[in-house]
Amino acid sequence: SQQGEEDPQALSIQEGENATMNCSYKTSINNLQWYRQNSGRGLVHLILIRSNEREKHSGRLRVTLDTSKKSSSLLITASRAADTASYFCATPPSGTYKYIFGTGTRLKVLA
């Protein structure tokens, strides 16, 4: 099964609302990353959080990491139609570069 599993699988919100998606993983990790994929730009790296960090911000993105629960969340504030995409978490088990992606959360932002 996947190392990272996102929840929910799909999310539909109105423009201006916040979107929260979660990721769970199974093994110890050095870092966790979030990526966005849409048909126009392919897979794009959003943010990386290291195992010794609990929270990180980048623009309208806020990521948290709870290593005791093996989970992470991605919050997108003040969403825009352009945020419509699939969002994936990716984690390499400690000591490897074998990045494992989840199945993704499909976000739809309605104008």
Partner 1 sequence: DTGVSQDPRHKITKRGQNVTFRCDPISEHNRLYWYRQTLGQGPEFLTYFQNEAQLEKSRLLSDRFSAERPKGSFSTLEIQRTEQGDSAMYLCASSSISGRAGEQYFGPGTRLTVT
Chain residues in the site for partner 1 (CB under 8 A): 2, 4, 31, 33, 35, 42-45, 48, 88, 90, 96-104
Q: What is the closest distance, in whole angstroms, from the C-beta atom of residue 15 to partner 1 in the complex?
A: 25
Cβ proximity to partner 1, 2 vs 20, nearer residue: 2
* Cβ 66 to partner 1 shortest distance, Å: 20
Token representation of residue 109: 């932002």
Query: Cis omega (within 30 of 0) on the bond before 8?
Result: yes
Least distance from partner 1 to the Cβ atom of residue 46, Å: 10
Cβ atoms within 10 Å of 3's Cβ, excluding its own? 21
Residue 100: CB atoms within 10 Å: 19
Q: Which is nearer to partner 1, 37 or 77 (CB)?
A: 37
3-state secondary structure of 111: coil
